[in-house]
Amino acid sequence: MKKTFAEKSNILVFLGTATLMITAVFFLKSCNKNSKTDQVRLSKETDANKIVPNSAKVISAKPDIPDDPNKRYIYLTFDDGPNKGTENLIKIINKYQIPITSFIVGKHAYDSKTQAKNLTELKNHKLVELANHSYSHAENRYSEFYKNPEKVIHDFDRAKDNLKFQNKYARTPGRNIWRTTNINATDIKTSKTSADELQRAGYVLVGWDLEWKPDNQMKLKGSHKEISKKIDSIFFNDLEKTSRHLVFLTHDQYLQDDDSVRELDLFISDLQNSNRFEFRKISDYPKINDILK
């Protein structure tokens, strides 16, 4: 029997209502499911953005910052501290707020109360990084010292243990030797075996690209202008061990007289004011920490 138009309409209304109800139920379930999914996603994102303390010691202050191609980087290093002249060095650091690396001789910390005080000041200075320059400074008998690799390692270990150095950066007394991941250089070949053994013992040996030497009165030789020209020449001719990075060396004990202190002051002032250079600690030297991983 055929249904009338009214009956068809009622059936259609019923079917339409049922369809709407089913659609609504599925929509609500879908919304609820999406809501839970969003909550899980947000929870994961929140966890990912949490700051998790890193138990690993950060050695380098700028491990992920690329070099500025318009800058040249200078690593000011000072050997043989604490020594006469260390107090003047600290004054210059404070004046210009520049970072340095001080290569410390272990026994100098015990030579006098003033030197012990200077060492404490260097240790506590936020701009100063301490590194190992042996305990005995080879007693200034370098040829004999490097003949015995075992003695050399013992001497550096003694300084490390006595002064509790926080890193393995080291500089060999009386020698310009490099042992890093990508630099291997020895100025006097009879020292090579000892240098190799120091590297095997875990030390990163850091030499230098330019030294400001003393005259026969143990004062800085030459003017700050002359040293600045040498720096420009090294960079221009790409003579540094790592391009655009220059390790500079002088010694605390050359800073006892007013003239030497003034020349170093002017030297740093000129470099800083040129805006072409940036000062860094040795821990920021390229690839210096790769060997420690």
Q: What pLDDT shows up at residue 145? A: 98
The answer to whether residues 131 and 222 belong to one domain is yes
The answer to whether residues 30 and 96 belong to one domain is no
Q: What pLDDT shows up at residue 291? A: 59
Q: What pLDDT shows up at residue 67? A: 87
The answer to whether residues 144 and 284 belong to one domain is yes
Average pLDDT of every residue of the chain: 84
The answer to whether residues 121 and 250 belong to one domain is yes
What is the pLDDT averaged over residues 218-241?
98
Strand partners, 76: 248
Cis peptide before 82 (omega within 30 of 0): yes
The answer to whether residues 83 and 6 belong to one domain is no
Q: Does a structural domain hold residue 239? A: yes
Q: Does a structural domain hold residue 145? A: yes
Residue range 150-173, pLDDT digits in tens: 999 999 999 999 999 999 999 999
Q: Does a structural domain hold residue 52? A: no
Residue range 41-71, pLDDT digits in tens: 444 343 333 323 322 223 334 444 578 988 9
Residue ranges making up the domain that contains 152:
72-292
Q: Does a structural domain hold residue 64? A: no
What stretches of 82-217 adopt beta strand conformation (E)? 100-104, 128-132, 169-170, 177-179, 184-186, 204-205, 210-211
5 pLDDT band (50/70/90 cuts)? very low
Q: Does a structural domain hold residue 284? A: yes
Q: d(Cα 257, Cα 277) in Å, to the nearest integer?
A: 27
Q: What pLDDT shows up at residue 21? A: 52
Residue 168 three-state SS: coil
The answer to whether residues 91 and 7 belong to one domain is no
Q: Does a structural domain hold residue 66? A: no
Kindly report the backbone phi and psi dihedral angles of residue 72, in degrees, each rounded to the nearest multiple of 5, phi listed first: -120, 140
Q: Does a structural domain hold residue 91? A: yes
CATH number of the domain that residue 172 is part of:
3.20.20.370
The answer to whether residues 222 and 182 belong to one domain is yes
290 pLDDT band (50/70/90 cuts)? confident
Q: Residue 4 pLDDT more than 50?
A: no
Contacts of 43 (CB under 8 A, 6+ apart): none
Alpha helices (runs of H) in 141-281, residue ranges in sequence order: 142-145, 149-163, 192-200, 224-236, 258-274
DSSP character for 214? Answer: B
Q: pTM higher than 0.85, yes or no?
A: no
Q: Does a structural domain hold residue 97? A: yes
The answer to whether residues 91 and 220 belong to one domain is yes
Total number of domains constituting the chain: 2
The answer to whether residues 198 and 251 belong to one domain is yes
The answer to whether residues 41 and 78 belong to one domain is no
Q: Residue 14 pLDDT more than 60?
A: no
Q: Residue 241 pLDDT more than 90?
A: yes
The answer to whether residues 16 and 153 belong to one domain is no
Q: d(Cα 72, Cα 279) in Å, to the nearest integer?
A: 9
The answer to whether residues 126 and 266 belong to one domain is yes
